[in-house]
Amino acid sequence: MKFRLVILLAVLLSFATVAKCERIKDIVEIQGVRSNPLTGVGLVIGLDGNGDKTLPSQQVLTNILRRSGLVFSPSSLTGGNIAIVMVTAELGPFSREGSRIDVDVSCIGDAKSLQGGMLLPTPLEGLDGQVYAVTQAAGVSIGGWTVSGDKASVTKNHQTVGRIPDGAIVEKAEVATYVELIAGERIITLNLRNSDFSTAARISSGINQIYPGSSSVTDAGTIKVIVPDEVGEEGLASFIDDITSPIVKVDTPAVVVINERTGTIVVGENVGISAVAISQGSLVVKIKETPIVSQPVAPFSDAGETKVVQDTSISIEEKDGYLIPVPRTVTISELARTLNAIGATPRDLIAIFNALKKAGALQAKLEIM
């Protein structure tokens, strides 16, 4: 099997000396501003024979009909036009009563497709058991289709999972609380997506240039910002925009990530290697199968049978290894250029990284997935 390797650069640089900078809002999360998962069990109808034929879906439909005053036995509803589904949604931190959110539906039973189905009204509950939204849709978007005949069928995309854009109406809002009151001060906490002391210090310094003395670093992933007294409730949005708009240099760790299953190597921006010499060699084994026709001939006899057999030839070739000096590398582009110049195969490159780490020459953290 051919082993393929892709070397991805963590940071694409036009010039090696240019630092990577980002807006603060793109590298942090405001503590307290998050969504909440909602779930519910619903029923999709009108599936034209592609639905469930299991007892749970029949029982759900029976319960719905009983609420309408119709009494049926589950065994009487065996048409296969319904499907019991799990309905999920995300209640955003600023979703308010009457606003709409997207909904996903997934089959629970043995339904073959949700194509053409309609979702009956379904309450969506939070983890606290309260209903936060209600969904109902005349159509489920599955992004594909199924066409079948007597002997064959054609299917595009997954048919048992669908999405309903703006399919649920929010009945109860979960108000995001992102301003804490600590020792009489209003505090907003910024959480770095990738924890780093250097980046956190630069963020705090950038905020302090706008609002002196308002920001401090708690740890590698947390920055506390004091809301000035002159900023009222109506000015919080502008204040948050002010403290998250500055551009700061993002410090990336020196790390090499290797995924041997997919042949992917991701090299961090600050990875370097000490001066070493690398000898690279490989063993090549070639196996060739050639079909030949064997027809035995036995004089004065009908014995023997004509057959096609495989003629196998094996050759082994060992390539010479070369001891190649590698100078200390300080940039991603130089490191990639040096390794490519060695002429190593993808599998050899992974072995080289492991050997460099073992020898103490790889000045980075090596992670194997």
**Of 15-24, 218-227, 279-288, 340-349, which has the strongest mean pLDDT?**
218-227
Other CB atoms within a 10 A radius of the CB of residue 207 amount to: 23
Distance CA 292, CA 170 (A): 73
Which CATH code is given to the segment(s) 21-32+177-249? 3.30.1360
**Of 135-149, 222-236, 315-329, which has the strongest mean pLDDT?**
222-236
What sections of 140-235 are H helices per DSSP? Answer: 197-210
- Across the chain, mean pLDDT equals 78
Q: Is the pLDDT of residue 297 over 70?
A: no
Q: Is the pLDDT of residue 347 over 80?
A: no
Is the distance from CB of 90 to CB of 165 less than 8 angstroms? no
What DSSP assignment string belongs to 14-59?
Answer: SSTTPPPEEEGGGTEEETT---EEEEEEEEEE--TT-S--SHHHHH
Q: Output the pLDDT for position 337.
A: 67
Distance CA 25, CA 80 (A): 50
**Of 51-55, 227-231, 279-283, which has the strongest mean pLDDT?**
227-231
Give 150 or 15, the one with higher predicted confidence: 150
Q: Output the pLDDT for position 53.
A: 75
Q: Is the pLDDT of residue 57 over 50?
A: yes
Task: Give the chain's length.
Answer: 369
Residue 1 binned pLDDT confidence (cut-offs 50, 70, 90): very low
Mean pLDDT, residues 209-213: 93
AA identity, residue 316: I
Q: Output the pLDDT for position 16.
A: 39
Mean pLDDT, residues 53-73: 74
Q: Is the pLDDT of residue 21 over 60?
A: yes
pLDDT 10s digits, 146-202: 666 555 566 666 778 888 899 999 999 887 889 999 888 999 999 999 999 999 999
Residue in 252, 248, 240, 238 with CA at minimum distance from that of residue 206: 248
Structure tokens that stand for 173 in this block: 């809002």
Q: Output the pLDDT for position 282.
A: 55
Percent of the chain residues past pLDDT 70, beyond the cut: 69
Using only C-alpha atoms, what is the Rg of the chain? 32
Residue 86 binned pLDDT confidence (cut-offs 50, 70, 90): very high
CATH 3.30.1360 in the chain, residue ranges: 21-32+177-249
**Of 58-62, 226-230, 337-341, 364-368, which has the strongest mean pLDDT?**
226-230
Mean pLDDT, residues 245-254: 89
Q: Output the pLDDT for position 97.
A: 92
Residue in 351, 180, 183 with CA at minimum distance from that of residue 280: 351
Percent of the chain residues past pLDDT 90, beyond the cut: 30
* In the block, residue with structure tokens 């709409």: 100
Q: Output the pLDDT for position 68.
A: 74
Q: Output the pLDDT for position 47.
A: 83
Helix (H, G, I), strand (E, B) or coil at 76: helix
Helix (H, G, I), strand (E, B) or coil at 256: strand
Helix (H, G, I), strand (E, B) or coil at 275: coil
What sections of the chain are H helices per DSSP? Answer: 55-67, 197-210, 236-244, 332-342, 346-359
Its pTM stands at: 0.68
Give 70 or 297, the one with higher predicted confidence: 70
